[in-house]
């Protein structure tokens, strides 16, 4: 089994969708599981819709834009002679948004439903384009088990194996297709795996079915020595170890969701990064083969962080200061990204995500 994940940048419009369908056809060597993101930018639109509704602001214009874009894609696929059978229920989405607007509240469970809608659109369109292979739809909420909230859930490979097995045994197929980003909790409710989380879905799927490879198809040739969007001289890295890839993704290399590599590493599934728009490029291979030398391979950066410093002469030699500071933040689930302490012990500095800044300031 091979797992192929296509990101939003590979599914942004009808031309991209057709390109992906042709690519999948040309790649069909063995059993294949496709994991799809929402069409590029659609999740942002859904997040915006949820926020407008929650603030009881009018969202007709944004709703109309979403419907126009989605139905435009549907129409183009149908015009090309394909029948769409699995189109998600827009009226249900609209009802949920209206409910949110009425209450002025958007519970995380509802938000997860709203923001994962785009993945289902991609899957419906791709199922139609690949009709000659009769792709079997895998319900991600039946396959991927997760814990820890509705919006940034953590998936479990051991708990997901049974789900994949059960779903796949219902209709054995050469091609399976599953929406990314989506999972469920132990009550069977829909959860999402954090923004950019379809990479993570693919990794969980690959580890669960013990795939021979997990391919992440995106809009760059592979993992670069820096973000090629900003650094034009960045070069592609052909081979990375799991550890190197993990460090890069945790420190901001958007090409991979940070939680992607661990499931692949634990299951020894090699992970390839490939370019949908340049499939002949060799891509980058992430595996347990260590890099060829010990030089720095790449640089990455994180945005929207805030640095806080706790300092004062009273801190010198005082045992337990650091633990008091971090305990206070841990109680409110504030995640600390980086910590430094001056050697003279007068100050401790640490970085948090900017969205946690106000909460952090209350505690220190």
Q: Which residues bind ligand ADP (CB under 6 A)?
A: 7-10, 37, 196, 218-220, 223-224, 226-229, 253-255, 298, 300
Q: What's the closest the beta carbon of residue 196 comes to ligand ASP, in angstroms?
A: 4
Cα–Cα–Cα angle for 132, 135, 137, nearest 5°? Answer: 150
- Helix, strand and coil content of the chain, in percent to the nearest 5, comes to 45, 20, 40
Sequential DSSP letters for 111-152? HHHHHTHHHHHHHHHHHHHTGGG-PEE--HHHH-EEES-SSB
Of residues 7 and 270, the one with the C-beta less far from ligand ASP: 7
Count of helices and strands (H, E) across the chain: 13, 15
> Which of 8, 135, 222, 228 touches ligand ASP by CB under 6 A?
8
| Residue 196 sits in the site that holds Mg ion (CB under 5 A) | yes
Whose CA is closest to 203, among 149, 123, 259? 259
Q: What's the closest the beta carbon of residue 160 comes to Mg ion, in angstroms?
A: 20
Write out the binding residues for ligand ASP, residues 170-189 only, by CB under 6 A. Answer: 180-181
Of residues 258 and 350, the one with the C-beta less far from ligand ASP: 258
Q: Give the helix/strand (H/E) hosting 33.
A: strand 32-36
Q: In this structure, what are the phi and psi dihedrals at residue 216, rounded to the nearest 5 degrees?
A: -105, 110
Q: Which segment (36-44, 90-98, 209-217, 286-294) binds ligand ASP by CB under 6 A?
A: 36-44
> Which residue shows structure tokens 């291979």?
285
> Which of 7, 179, 263, 270 touches ligand ASP by CB under 6 A?
7
Per partner kind, with CB cut-offs from 5 to 8 A, the member of ligand ADP, Mg ion, ligand ASP, none near residue 229 is ligand ADP
What's the maximum distance between 2 C-alpha atoms anywhere in the chain? 75
Report the residue number whose CB is nearest to ligand ADP.
7
Q: What's the closest the beta carbon of residue 81 comes to Mg ion, in angstroms?
A: 31
Residues that bind ligand ASP (CB under 6 A): 7-8, 37-38, 43, 118, 180-181, 195-198
- Residues lying near Mg ion in the complex (CB under 5 A) are found at 7, 196
């Amino acid at each position: 089994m091979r797992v192929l994940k296509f990101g939003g940048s590979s599914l942004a419009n009808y031309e991209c969708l057709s390109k992906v369908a042709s690519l999948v056809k040309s790649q069909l060597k063995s059993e294949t599981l496709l994991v799809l993101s929402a069409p590029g930018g659609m999740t942002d639109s859904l997040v915006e819709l949820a926020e407008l509704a929650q603030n009881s602001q009018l969202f007709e214009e944004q709703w109309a834009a979403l419907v126009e874009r989605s139905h435009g894609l549907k129409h183009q696929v149908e015009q090309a002679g394909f029948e769409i059978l699995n189109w998600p229920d827009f009226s249900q989405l609209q009802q949920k948004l209206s409910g949110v607007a009425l209450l002025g509240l958007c519970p995380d469970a509802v938000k997860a439903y709203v923001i994962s809608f785009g993945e289902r659109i991609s899957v419906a369109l791709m199922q139609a384009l690949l009709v000659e292979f009769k792709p079997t739809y895998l319900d991600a909420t039946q396959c991927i088990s997760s814990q820890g909230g509705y919006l940034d859930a953590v998936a479990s490979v051991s708990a997901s194996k049974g789900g994949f097995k059960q779903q796949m045994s219902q209709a054995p197929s050469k091609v399976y297709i599953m929406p990314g980003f989506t999972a469920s909790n132990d009550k069977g409710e829909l959860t999402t795996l954090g923004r950019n989380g379809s990479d993570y879905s693919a990794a969980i799927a690959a580890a669960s079915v013990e795939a021979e490879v997990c391919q992440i198809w995106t809009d760059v040739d592979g993992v670069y020595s820096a973000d090629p969007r900003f650094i034009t001289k960045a070069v592609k890295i052909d081979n990375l170890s799991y550890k190197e890839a993990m460090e890069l993704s945790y420190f901001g290399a958007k090409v991979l969701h940070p939680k992607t590599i661990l499931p692949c590493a634990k299951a020894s599934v090699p992970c390839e990064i490939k370019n949908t728009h340049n499939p002949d490029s060799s891509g980058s291979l992430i595996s347990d083969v260590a890099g060829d030398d010990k030089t720095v391979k790449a640089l990455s950066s994180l945005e929207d962080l805030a640095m806080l410093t706790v300092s004062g002469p009273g801190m010198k030699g005082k045992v337990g200061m650091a633990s008091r500071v971090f305990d206070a933040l841990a109680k409110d689930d504030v995640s600390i990204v980086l910590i430094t302490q001056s050697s003279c012990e007068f100050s401790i500095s640490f970085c948090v995500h900017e969205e946690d800044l106000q909460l952090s300031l209350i505690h220190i």
